[in-house]
Amino acid sequence: MNQHEVIIILDPALTEDGVETEISGLRAIAAKKGGEVLEVQKWGKKRLAYEVKKRREGQYVMMKVGDMGGVVADLERHFRITEAILKGMVFRAEEPRRRRFKAKSQATIESSTVTTTQEVGDGELQ
């Protein structure tokens, strides 16, 4: 099952109830296509780097959605249609990459033989 992260920027004039209404609308879209919303984080009102739809601030919301089918396409369509959503993006959540090389265990390090040179007497190496 693919997981996606959805980040939306909502109109700063929305009340808390308005934000909840938009989130429930996105939950309904995900449920209609067989996906599910796994997590919702409200990041609050933040200043935008540039104007979006003549707004300098927006309310950020991040959601994690378990994807089944065409949920992504429906969410992006909803972003374009809904006026309260200033901007929305969908990213595929990647699993952490595995390390390329495995770390050696302490037993392997201790059992490996390392040849060293030693000075003997007047500076001769053995």
Query: pLDDT of 81-124, one tens digit each?
Result: 999 999 999 888 877 677 666 666 666 666 665 555 555 666 66
Tell me whether residue 16 is in a domain: yes
Tell me whether residue 76 is in a domain: yes
pTM for the model stands at 0.70
What is the C-alpha to C-alpha distance for residues 66 and 4, in angstroms, rounded to an integer?
6
**Can you read off the two tokens belonging to residue 82?**
């809904």
Q: List the helix and strand counts (H, then E) for the chain.
A: 3, 6
Tell me which residue range forms the domain holding 37: 2-92
Tell me whether residue 105 is in a domain: no
Phi and psi angles of residue 83, each rounded to the nearest 5 degrees, phi first: -75, -25
Neighbours of 83 (CB within 10 A): 7
Mean of pLDDT values over 52-77:
86
Tell me whether residue 110 is in a domain: no
Diameter of the chain by CA atoms? 87
Mean of pLDDT values over 5-23:
92
Tell me whether residue 101 is in a domain: no
The distance from CA 16 to its chain's CA centroid, rounded to whole angstroms, is 24
Beta strand 2-10 pairing with 55-67: antiparallel
Tell me whether residue 34 is in a domain: yes
What is the C-alpha to C-alpha distance for residues 125 and 118, in angstroms, rounded to an integer?
6
- Judge whether residue 60 has pLDDT over 70: yes
**What is the count of structural domains for the chain?**
1
